[in-house]
Structure 1
């Protein structure tokens, strides 16, 4: 029997715990350790303090983030809160300390110039400040400065720079709990990417499965960075969000393997949750008038890329056929939303091997533009 995966705590929960401990110390002179907080759904976890300092009219407490068994980039990060008195009647004011980003682009749930502390963590911290103030005789008028040790470097491994959050990480979380492998943070980043693109007035975005397809889409259409959506395996997340928040044009770009899954109707393209369907590929060959012997070779091919090579040798455009079927899936999910979609299929070297939904453009010409250069290996 497998051991259940261990849940962890969001950066917002950790910042709330640190803020609660620091404000308690500011009012009483003693840090509660561990410090207990209430999460939005009623859980009451306790956090051990990694650092504490009380001096010069301010208090600082820090918590090490535990993401449980989730492969979270912020696992093990030291999240600190420094609390000092604010102006009378000011309530809780948030500042971005070292390692916490600042919002520089519209389209996010925070105003430009604000520290990247999301609305739910802000509400949690305000509620806990009010509770501590009522219990310990404070006014609740405080300045809360959140910091993340090494956060600026960690942020380079997230969507933050593309979303216009500069200087560090975001303080995130809606429930306070990190569910292992829930992928909710990635999907939320996709949604925020669409929001930022719309706020910037972009009329064409590209959902890409990896760095190579992202480069191809950017070069092919001259798209700026904030029009590129790193959708990874979550094609469904892009399509469903654009259905509700449309952008006039969407390009779906990716490798032959992942997009053959989309062609088969899968919206989650992860290898653990969907597989390439060799019968679909063989059926496409037969439907295009291909030799039955070729269709059988495609059906038993090792990979979708292997099947593509077999069809290329026979002069059959399997890439175009996969693109057309993937486009059909995309349109079904968009459900008539005002989004013109097209699909670009590439091989591992970044050469375009299939397209659908493109009007007035020569595939041969586009292949010449794309070339063979590589950035990273991910499609």
Structure 2
């Protein structure tokens, strides 16, 4: 009997489904008899084809065409699973300069720092332009509107607002493949990577995602010391303890790592939250005035809470975040000892949405010096 854990299934990022719908709608716009049930498109990154089903396709009264796809992120704990994406394609205006005018409709977030521009990023724009442009008849231009009917409601369950995106979701991603980082099978693959790194390095850097991995390099950390943990911090810390790793530097967004200060060692929001409550408790421990703590409990995000603290007293903000990172260190080390009987030195560095370090423990500084590029 083969007891091997099957590899988690990868899926596709939201821009891929938006693009597939736009291709189908354009084909129907060009030829009313063309009603594709699936679309093959070039993902660009990676440069390979993808086959995407088209759920529905129909002309609209204004002359545009609507195509509907449904998100499939693979074996991920992803709140966008099965969410519909609407791609509406129409001929461009006579005075339109761009060959394709890409717009965000209902459910596509707005970027506060870009004067409300739709949260449609570089990869999505390139994917749509590259796949649609060859299909546009000579002399014609297009207007492509992407709509996420459930986007506004789903956004309330994310930390998008902390990153300056409101009223919807982002067409985010730098590649077409949605790697199953939060799927249970991914933990086994992450452990394999950890075992390989531990065989070569006594000190490692745990990063939850791409932001931490990228910032680590910019801070001068040896890239080979980095380990991507996704949300599996607890099991990965235990594995590091069992492997005899000397120390682990946790480098991550404060809105994620703060969960460890409350004893939550799986950081996916489907598992547990309590971030504002943990921040409020740490503030109480540092004698922050009660009215400020009450405001923190009402804050929409931990990032908003950080803003409230900074506005009140920057010195006290540093004091609170020092308390947070030291608490993360202590809780993490205790977690590893409880589950393995081994001692593991853990240090924590947390950054805000501008990727600025807002808290660094003494143990983190010591570990940081150990993982710098020689």
- The residue that corresponds to 2:126 in the other structure is 123
Query: CA RMSD of the aligned region, Å?
Result: 4.0
- The residue that corresponds to 1:187 in the other structure is 209
Q: TM-score, normalised by structure 1?
A: 0.56
CA 1:97–1:174: 2 relative to 1, 3 Å: same
- The residue that corresponds to 1:93 in the other structure is 101
Alignment partner of 1:280 is 2:343: yes
- Equivalent-residue separation in structure 2 for 1:275 and 1:191 (angstroms): 28
- Equivalent-residue separation in structure 2 for 1:141 and 1:328 (angstroms): 58
**Structure 1 residues 250-298: Cα deviation after superposition (integer angstroms, max 9, x where no partner):** 926659885336569xxxx9x8xx98665439x9xxxxxxxxxxxxxxx
- The residue that corresponds to 1:215 in the other structure is 280
Asked which structure has the greater CA Rg, the reply is 1
- Equivalent-residue separation in structure 2 for 1:67 and 1:123 (angstroms): 20
- The residue that corresponds to 2:46 in the other structure is 41
- The residue that corresponds to 2:364 in the other structure is 330
- The residue that corresponds to 1:51 in the other structure is 56
Alignment partner of 1:25 is 2:28: yes
Q: Is the 8 A contact 1:94 1:115 kept in 2?
A: no
**Structure 1 residues 303-339: Cα deviation after superposition (integer angstroms, max 9, x where no partner):** xxxxxxxxxxxxxxxxxxxxxxx82332246559xxx
Q: Is the 8 A contact 1:63 1:78 kept in 2?
A: yes
- Equivalent-residue separation in structure 1 for 2:340 and 2:361 (angstroms): 17
Counterparts of 1:1-379 in structure 2, within 5 Å, are 1-29=4-32, 30-39=34-43, 40-55=45-60, 56-87=62-93, 88-104=96-112, 106=113, 111-133=114-136, 137-139=137-139, 141-181=141-181, 187-188=209-210, 206=254, 208-210=257-259, 211=275, 212-216=277-281, 228=302, 251=321, 258-260=328-330, 278-280=341-343, 327-332=361-366
- Equivalent-residue separation in structure 1 for 2:159 and 2:128 (angstroms): 24
SS in 2 for 1:168: coil
SS in 2 for 1:45: strand
Q: TM-score, normalised by structure 2?
A: 0.56
**Structure 1 residues 221-261: Cα deviation after superposition (integer angstroms, max 9, x where no partner):** 6698699459xxxxxxxxxxxxxxxx999926659885336
- Equivalent-residue separation in structure 1 for 2:128 and 2:51 (angstroms): 15
Q: Is the 8 A contact 1:7 1:67 kept in 2?
A: yes
The answer for unaligned runs of 5 or more in structure 2 is 187-206, 215-252, 260-274, 305-316, 346-359
Q: Is the 8 A contact 1:206 1:227 kept in 2?
A: no
CA 1:257–1:12: 2 relative to 1, 3 Å: same
- The residue that corresponds to 1:288 in the other structure is none
Alignment length (residue pairs)? 251
